[in-house]
Amino acid sequence: MCPLDSQAESVFDPAGNYLFSKGEAVRWILKNDNGEVIGRMAAFIDRVRSTVSSQPTGGIGFFEVIEEKEAAFALFDAGKEWLAARGIEAMDGPINFGENDNNWGLLVDGFMHQGFGMPYNKKYYREFFEEYGFKNYFEQYSYHRVVRGTDGKLEQFPDRIMKIAEWLSKKPGYSFHHFTFREKDKFVNDLVDVYNAAWTVFKGDFTPLDPSFLEESLNKAKAVIDEELVWFAYYNDKPIAFFILYPDLNQILKHLNGKLHFWNKIRFLYYKMSHKMTRMRAVAGGVNPLYQNSGVESAIFYQLYQVFKKKPWYSELELSWVGDFNPKMIKIYEALDAHRAKMHITYRYMINEKLIFRRYKDEINQKQEGDKSEKNNG
């Protein structure tokens, strides 16, 4: 599945990627003695995230290589040396020079069609990463659920989900609204409020979501967004939860060979209007910690279920991704009768060998224990 050339290029365009205002990136192409391209890779630093990590941490990504360990290691060496020269002591990979909803992690299980934004790679890459010394920082799970069977019949969510949703929807103070571009500014601010409240509890190096970045992302995705697949929950008009589904653009891009010239734009419109995007991918979601376990997640899926009823072309839902450090969201996906279909791994390599490697889950637990201790002492 060839992504658009323009999308890949925009990641490394300072005019199109806001992270260049607080970071830097470099790219390499690896050639053999005959001048043939046999690999590629990028390395990058987000200075804000780097300085609030346990140690200065950079990243590598956009990694592709032939099945030759020496070639892979040459690329890893280039990334390590470039980052080390800039004071970086650990490198994560393969990741994106941007937010983690795109191009994040190495696919290690579930080599099937990839949803838009989810990376796909050769199976042998895992061996290269692990032999070099990268360690499993966290695992990312993608859950799949059938929306409509082969007979076209809508598959209902489990009764428990539906009952909780109906009960909560009738409680005073709760309301639910789907996104509209007409009120984009309001919804952007609402999403930022919930996202920052939800994710700040996970890790000390959390960096708040930038509203301008989110607005830019929505504008870029305007051609594919279905407004009725993006939902917000409110309590007394205060935003408390959101959930974002995108139609799977890959079902169109597979016909365009990476190019978006005039004729491919016409083809794009044709495929879109004829509802060739039958899959959806859950890109992001969040619930304010004060309202977690309240049933608001079920209520949002209930709203989506009503949308599925009137849009018969949607037949499959991919819930990706959820980290192994987020058991609450995993339970929600499993409660929806979704099954784990894919696994990606985000690896970490300690450039400074004197430092102790800790998995992401352990860092979260350490932070939460520290917060409890401070609260008790206070």
Q: Percent helix, strand and coil across the chain, each rounded to 5?
A: 40, 25, 35
User: What pLDDT is recorded for position 279?
Assistant: 97
Instruction: Report cis status (omega within 30 of 0) of the bond before 247.
Output: no
Contact criterion met (CB below 8 Å) for 101 and 343: no
| Residue 348 and residue 91 in contact, taking contact as beta carbons nearer than 8 Å | yes
- Residue (of 142, 231, 240) closest to 196 by Cα position: 240
Look at strands 57-65 and 90-93 and give their pairing. Answer: parallel
Cα distance between residue 255 and residue 274, in whole Å: 14
- Going residue by residue through the chain, which has 378 residues, state the pLDDT in tens, using 9 for 90 and above: 788 899 889 999 998 888 999 999 999 999 999 999 999 999 999 998 888 788 999 999 999 999 999 999 999 999 999 999 999 999 999 999 988 989 999 999 999 998 999 999 999 999 999 999 999 999 999 999 999 999 999 998 999 999 999 899 889 999 999 999 999 999 999 999 999 888 776 555 567 777 887 887 888 888 899 999 999 999 999 999 999 999 999 999 999 999 999 999 999 999 999 999 999 999 989 999 999 888 999 999 999 999 999 999 999 999 999 999 999 889 989 999 999 999 999 999 999 999 999 999 998 887 666 655 555 666
The closest alpha carbon to 287, from 315, 321, 329, belongs to 329
Q: Do 359 and 138 form a contact (C-beta atoms < 8 A)? A: yes
State the Cα angle at 198 between 146 and 330, rounded to 5°.
35
Phi, psi dihedrals of residue 205, rounded to the nearest 5°: -95, 15
